[in-house]
Structure 1
Amino acid sequence: MNIKPLGTRVLLKEIESEETTKSGIVLPSNAKEKPYMAEVVEIGPGEVKDGKEIKMVVKKGDRVLYSKYAGTEVKLDNEKYLLAKQDDILAVIE
């Protein structure tokens, strides 16, 4: 199933990072805080708002940091994704 976001929305896939304590204990994903880091899977076309064109700054494949309460979680083909607005993206990781 393919999803094409509308407007300035972006489809994100969270990047799972394995975390280890100083003593070498690996923390499971449910025992740590979400990293708020994701990869851009799909982007919308942009939009025109109040006569001004809003272009998409991010592109497919970018790794980004997003705000804590961003977007809506969706599940497709047993995979979790986040559908968020471009405004919820805080930075692109290079």
Structure 2
Amino acid sequence: MAAQATFKSIKALVPLFDRVLVQKFKPETKTASGIFLPASATSNPLPEATVIAVGPGAPNKDGKVIPTTVKAGDRVLLPGWGGNSIKVGEEEYFLYKDSEILAKIEE
């Protein structure tokens, strides 16, 4: 299980290096006609998320900072594992390394 931390405001959290703070999309649990769906019907093997904040980047072997590949507001595809969970009130966010993000979703 991923480590958990609790904060009063998401603005209090600033990712460091190449870390990316995301909020996963919650799957619909009810159809338009009001039928509740079981968790097995709504699970997505690769979760999608919205990027909330990013760190400035991580230094390479020469000391040059390489910026993250995503920015706040981007939609991304995450792996089915990893990430550190962060609770802010009832909301749950996750921190991933930039290199762990599988793809950016462009509309």
Match of 2:85 among 70, 73, 77: 73
Q: Percent identity?
A: 40
Q: With structure 1 as the length reference, what TM-score do the two structures score?
A: 0.82
Q: With structure 2 as the length reference, what TM-score do the two structures score?
A: 0.73
The amino acid of 1:41's aligned partner reads: I
Report runs of 4+ in structure 1 exceeding 3 Å deviation: none
Determine the C-alpha separation between the residues in 1 that align with 2:37 and 2:60. Answer: 44
Q: Which has the larger share of strand?
A: 1
1:33 offset after TM fit, Å?
2.0
Is 1:33–2:33 an aligned residue pair?
no
Residue correspondences, number: 91
**Number of the residue aligned with 2:26:** 16
1:46-73 residue CA offsets vs partner (Å, 9 max, x unmatched): 0213114321110110000011113111
Gaps of 5+ in 1: none
Contact preservation (8 Å) 2:27, 2:43: no
1:4-26 residue CA offsets vs partner (Å, 9 max, x unmatched): 000100000011232678xx954
Determine the C-alpha separation between the residues in 2 that align with 1:70 and 1:58. Answer: 18
- The two structures, once aligned, show a CA RMSD in angstroms of 2.2
